[in-house]
């Protein structure tokens, strides 16, 4: 953990992880500062790159995405240009909500959403298996989400 963050900075970051729409007045009250010093600290945290972005967390099921799958992707040939093409194409697919280049038996792990199993099957057939470099895919379907993005540990 970065050593240039004090207890108040960490408290600001923790509060914003829970509610990114919090007003400066409420944030200042929570961390025990007046509004102007709180706003200055927040601006510094943003400028120094501790806050990557603000965004809404959408309700997947309310938007009709009933399936979450984790896909292990394997390549037969490990070529930098092929991997770059794969990564560019994956970044352009909206239903891929996360992609990690990993160590171990797979080369990449993707987190994907779909409306239902038929939709997921079509995605696998029409898009996933045709991506550059892909020689093998293995799916793990989520049965139940136990913990979603809870934010980074700041203590």
The per-residue pLDDT of the chain, averaged, comes to: 94
Sequence ranges of the chain with CATH classification 1.10.10.10: 7-47
Helix (H) or strand (E) holding 77: none
Where is average pLDDT lowest: 3-12, 19-28, 60-69, 108-117? 3-12
Separation of alpha carbons 152 and 93, rounded Å: 26
Does the domain at 7-47 match CATH 1.20.1540.10? Answer given as: no
Separation of alpha carbons 42 and 54, rounded Å: 13
Sort strands 108-114 and 96-101 into parallel, antiparallel or unpaired: antiparallel
Residues 64-72, mean pLDDT to the nearest whole number: 97
Lookup: tokens for 88: 């560019």
Rounded to a whole number of angstroms, the CA Rg of the chain reads: 20
Confidence check: pLDDT of 1 > 70: no
Measured over all CA atoms, what is the biggest interatomic distance in the chain, rounded to whole angstroms?
58
Q: What percent of the chain has pLDDT over 70?
A: 97
**Contact status, residue 136 vs residue 145, Cβ threshold 8 Å:** no
Sequence ranges of the chain with CATH classification 3.30.70.920: 67-141
Does the domain at 67-141 match CATH 3.30.70.920? Answer given as: yes
């Amino acid at each position: 953990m970065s050593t240039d963050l004090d207890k108040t900075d960490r408290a600001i970051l923790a509060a914003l992880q829970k509610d990114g729409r919090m007003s400066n007045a409420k944030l200042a009250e929570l961390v025990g500062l007046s509004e102007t010093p709180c706003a200055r600290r927040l601006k510094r945290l943003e400028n120094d790159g501790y806050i990557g972005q603000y965004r809404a967390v959408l309700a997947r099921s309310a938007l009709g995405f009933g399936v979450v799958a984790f896909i292990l992707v394997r390549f037969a040939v490990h070529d930098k240009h092929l991997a770059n093409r794969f990564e560019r194409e994956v970044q352009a697919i909206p239903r891929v909500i996360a992609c990690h280049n990993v160590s171990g038996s797979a080369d990449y792990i993707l987190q994907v959403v779909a409306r239902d199993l038929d939709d997921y099957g079509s995605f696998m057939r029409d898009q996933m298996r045709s991506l550059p470099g892909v020689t093998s895919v293995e799916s793990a379907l989520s049965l139940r989400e136990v913990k979603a993005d809870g934010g980074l540990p700041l203590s």
